[in-house]
Amino acid sequence: AETLLEVKDLSVVYTSEEGIARAVNGITFSIDRRQTLGFVGETGAGKTTTGLSIMRLLPEKAGQVEKGQVFYRGEDLLRLPESAMRELRGSRIAMIFQDPISVLNPVMTIERQIKEVLEAHDDHSGTNMEQRVDNLLKLVGIQPDRKKDYPHQFSGGMKQRIVIAMALACDPELLIADEPTTALDVTIQAQVLDLVEELKERLGTSMMIITHDLGIVAQVCDTVAVVYAGEIVEQGTVRDIFEGRRHHPYTEGLFGAIPDIKSEARRLSPIEGAMPDPLDLPTGCKFHPRCRYCTERCKTVHPPVCRVGTHEIACHRFKEE
Ligand code: SF4
């Protein structure tokens, strides 16, 4: 398969009065065309920061890419001029966020907002804007005759659909979705997920889905990367990870409560202890203070990544086995 996005050894820090927070620490992964990657982990693992770094939307001054590369179709996005990046954002790569309210303009009709996205990226010669807005709304399951309505006239789930319509307006090749259903209640979550799945099938969009919801991963993802303290501790196919071929003690803990891929258990199971403070990360394996298999070596030596086929694990214990 053709690789669309390749993130190599990415590290990101946030500098504040409190010190340097190491949010992302040498993350490497790739997404092929038409593939959906689930980026899973607890809050504070560095998932959103990774997404924002790819889009080059880190908070100015505070957030900084320390090292690494983000290749999109072979071109390093981190080295593109801002103008070229702006061009790419929204047209080739789009991102949707947890909270649709923050994206929508309350005093503009949804038609106007979708048109703005279309206009920003198109030479609109010969394109019928009206028709395109209608088609996008239909695609996300909203009656086109509601296009003159304002955001507040829609429910939370509908607002997220509108945001998805805006993200899809320019037919992006890659969609980064950051907790797209977290702010929605359960039945609406299911609808939005069905929509995401359908779009993936119909449009063939590649996706990176940032989530702590394993139900989402099981339903729409092909591969999974498990993130802990700014590192990927395990990566593999959804099948491998859900069918018990998972090896990292952290993954084991997260997925432990889930008997199989069709299970109703959606949330990550809690593991004793807390995610380490990025201002003061542990030495060696960052999971060692919470790991029941921790040895002396784990406390001082950072575990290298081991590859077994397409599967990757960063754990001393796995290597020994
Ligand atoms: Fe646990 Fe050691 Fe593996 Fe880290 S390297 S997950 S501490 S066994």
Contact 34, 206 (CB under 8 A): yes
Backbone phi and psi for residue 244, each to the nearest 5 degrees, phi listed first: 90, -5
Give strand pairing partners of 25: 11
Torsion of CA 147, 150, 155, 157, to 10 degrees: 60
Give the CA distances from residue 2 to residues 19, 78, 150, 155, in Å, rounded to whole numbers and listed in that order. 40, 21, 40, 38
How much is the pTM? Answer: 0.89
Q: How far does the centroid of ligand 1 lie from the alpha carbon of residue 227, in Å? A: 14
ipTM of the complex: 0.99
Ligand 1 first shell, C-beta below 6 A: 248-249, 285, 287-288, 291, 293-294, 298, 303, 315-317
Residue whose token pair is 């490497």:
28
Cβ neighbours, 10 Å, residue 42 = 17
pLDDT of residue 192: 78
Q: Kindly give the confidence (pLDDT) of every residue in the chain, 321 residues in length, as a single tens digit, with 9 standing for 90 and above.
A: 799 999 999 999 999 999 999 999 999 999 999 999 999 998 889 999 999 999 999 998 899 999 999 999 999 999 999 999 998 987 899 998 877 778 899 999 999 999 988 887 765 555 688 888 998 898 888 999 999 999 999 988 889 889 988 988 888 999 999 988 777 777 777 777 888 888 888 888 999 999 988 888 888 899 999 999 999 999 999 999 888 788 899 998 887 655 555 555 555 556 778 889 999 999 999 999 999 899 999 999 999 999 988 899 999 998 655
Most informative mutation of 317, 318, 320, 321 for ligand 1 (most atoms within 8 A of CB): 317
| Rounded Cα gap, residues 23 and 230, in angstroms | 5
- The domain ranges of the chain are 3-92+170-320
User: Looking at ligand 1, which residue's alpha carbon is closest to its atom 5?
Assistant: 315
pLDDT of residue 187: 74
pLDDT of residue 188: 74
| 3-92+170-320: CATH number | 3.40.50.300
